[in-house]
Structure 1
Amino acid sequence: MKLAIEKLTAILRKRNKKLKAGYALIFSVGILAAYILLGDRTNIYSVKGSTQAITVETSDAEINEWVFSQGRLVAEDTDMQAVTLKDERFFVFSSDIKLRITSINDTTQHQLLITSRSDDITGVLFDGNKATPLEGYVEVLLTLSKNIVLPFEGKAYVGEDVGKDVDSLLLNGEISILESRFLSSGRYAGSSYVLDTGDRIYIVDKNSEYVSKGFLRVTQNDAFYFSVVSEGDGVQVTRFGNEDLLITPSIWSRVTKDPVVAAITSLCALMFLLLEFALLLKQTLNNKE
């Protein structure tokens, strides 16, 4: 009787060790899966489409110093009369300011309105050898005779939330996400999302550590093309006043599109399949004995 009890105790201890090892393996795999699927990665967000309005908070880069040698210049906070711009009399916007760009259309011509207000120098008017700094509110109204491209660096707010007296909207757009590969260099194309007419979007940067880069291509249409690219923490979409929509990478896209994760998933599946085959083979041999 004593020998039987000791034998049973040994069998139970052996089984408990196997169970503990199995639980440890499952727990380790779960931790690894959570880290792969939920761990932070540096993602690049690309937003492009057509809009009738955009606001850009420019950085101090020289690329933001837009030069205009055509159109009509108005500086409301000065005594200067409206100025017609031309080759020898041109205006340069300062960098590190907020610019509002709006498409204006009527039955006869297409125009672009660019406005800015700054407590410092908004821009400089060059007239021959004379340079006149302008402060406060400044606007440039362009009557387009050709296509123009306006590059920028900074933070872009595309579109305008639909509401009273709002007539310049985002017409269409798409968000694409480039995600970092797990434990390797390079990126892969993740999820993409289609924007609705009337959305207002911007790339979220919680710690203010990234700078968006992009450009506007203005043609003689009722809207202009925009492209904005930046690392960030997601894309905030405001739709009919609702700001709950934050576009971020999905877990499913990491599982299906990250080549490293796909390889790890395949390897784990193969290991479990081999383990199952080994247990089945062992059971078969024990039954024969």
Structure 2
Amino acid sequence: MRLSFMNDSTRLGFFVIVARRLRHLMQCGWPRRLIILSIVTVMISLLAYVMFAERVNIYTVSAKTDILKVTIAENGINQWEIPQHAEIIDFFAAEQIPLEGNESYIHVAAGTVATMTIDHNKERLVITLENNTESGSVGEVESNFNYTPLGEYVDIIFTQPQQLIFPFRGSMILGDDVAAGVDAVLREGSIRIIEQELLGDVRYISGEFQLDEGDRVTLHSDFKYQQDVVLRGFVRYEPGEPMAVTAHGETTVARVERMGSTGYDAKTSMWKRFANDPVVIAMTSLYAVMFLILEMMVLLRSIFAVPRTEE
């Protein structure tokens, strides 16, 4: 039974049942203190379970950046439209790859590392594809129903102004370390954690973190930062602007490296759960009402108790 959805009559019936159970236990010879201690222990145990049980956390990263690195996972979503004015440079091909027809696409192979960088000096977007797996190919180009395989290192250069969108599925590194020779960094962004309540499909915001210019963000499924998380997202490019990146995924922690500090972990907290989880709020409210009723019962009993007379 979900206490958060009880109406008034249901709540009254619940308290009546509890009172009858307590009266039955007392009639069976249970000491009053033992009954109260048992009730408090059960209540605290239930609340602790709801507070500390594992939940599904969805991380949403929204940012504007000049650089993004994505390690592509195997999925059909990693198919990007390439305009005719784009230049594809395959460093292991004998000649430049021509783009024919009105629509051309590049199918990025799994295991390929795609580094997207905006060169504001030359007003262009450069996507560098590199594949160090056994296949050795970053994918293939589809143009006018012809497929051309690519080598293991390819540059795609977009020089003319045009809005472009690149969907992806893979792990990502957002931003870059600020150091000498680095001219592309994260501009701004945020990380939002959406958590699912324990006993239903209701979701609530469990944490929100603002990103500063120059931050570097990675997402992991462990607190040792060894397992990268596969995300779904997209990149929107508009000429003269930083890339707008949006990515979602179920994970455990987002690691934020910040210049001038040791960085921090963007993760959910128990206090956010205590303040926002509907189940926790319902349980604590119910406990408060129960203790208030008990206090009133004790007070009324002390007021209306008949004093004993000495014989």
Do they fold alike, i.e. is TM over 0.5?
yes
Letter aligned with residue 50 of structure 1: K
Give a deviation string over 1:30-88, Cα, whole Å, max 9, x none.
22222222211001111102011111112211110223233222222x15245564647
* Residue 221 of structure 1, CA deviation: 2.4
* Residue 205 of structure 1, CA deviation: 2.3
TM-score (norm 2): 0.78
For the 8 Å contact 2:220–2:229, the answer to whether it is kept is no
Instruction: State the match for 1:19 in structure 2.
Output: 33
User: Does residue 259 of the first structure (1) align with residue 278 of the second (2)?
Assistant: yes
SS in 1 for 2:271: helix
**Identity over aligned pairs, percent:** 27
For the 8 Å contact 1:161–1:241, the answer to whether it is kept is no
- Note the 1:22-33 alignment, pairs <5 A: 22-33=36-47
User: Does residue 200 of the first structure (1) align with residue 219 of the second (2)?
Assistant: no
Instruction: State the match for 1:149 in structure 2.
Output: 165
Q: Aligned residue pairs: how many?
A: 271
Give distance in 1, aligned partners of 2:67 and 2:304. Answer: 74
SS in 2 for 1:278: helix
Which sections of structure 1, spanning at least 5 residues, go unmatched? 1-15
User: Does residue 116 of the first structure (1) align with residue 165 of the second (2)?
Assistant: no
For the 8 Å contact 2:101–2:144, the answer to whether it is kept is no
Instruction: State the match for 2:297 in structure 1.
Output: 278
User: Does residue 60 of the first structure (1) align with residue 74 of the second (2)?
Assistant: yes
Give a deviation string over 1:79-104, Cα, whole Å, max 9, x none.
52455646479562423122111111
- From 63, 76, 86, give the equivalent of 1:71: 86
Change over 3 Å in CA distance of 1:163–1:288 after alignment to 2: farther
SS in 2 for 1:66: strand
SS in 2 for 1:146: coil
- From 256, 259, 272, give the equivalent of 1:237: 256
Change over 3 Å in CA distance of 1:127–1:43 after alignment to 2: closer
Instruction: State the match for 2:119 in structure 1.
Output: 104
Which sections of structure 2, spanning at least 5 residues, go unmatched? 1-29
Give distance in 2, aligned partners of 1:242 and 1:17. Answer: 58
Change over 3 Å in CA distance of 1:86–1:101 after alignment to 2: farther
Letter aligned with residue 87 of structure 2: R
Give distance in 2, aligned partners of 1:148 and 1:166. Answer: 24
Give a deviation string over 1:210-247, Cα, whole Å, max 9, x none.
64111111001241101001111122211128665111
For the 8 Å contact 1:170–1:198, the answer to whether it is kept is yes
For the 8 Å contact 1:105–1:111, the answer to whether it is kept is yes
SS in 2 for 1:63: coil
Query: Bigger shift: 196-205 or 42-51?
Result: 196-205
Give distance in 2, aligned partners of 1:210 and 1:79. Answer: 33
Instruction: State the match for 2:108 in structure 1.
Output: 94
SS in 2 for 1:30: helix
For the 8 Å contact 1:110–1:222, the answer to whether it is kept is no
- From 47, 58, 61, give the equivalent of 1:44: 58
SS in 1 for 2:301: helix
- Note the 1:199-218 alignment, pairs <5 A: 199-206=215-222, 211-218=230-237
TM-score (norm 1): 0.83
Instruction: State the match for 2:180 in structure 1.
Output: 164
Give a deviation string over 1:144-166, Cα, whole Å, max 9, x none.
42111111112122111222322
SS in 2 for 1:139: strand
Give distance in 1, aligned partners of 2:266 and 2:166. Answer: 27
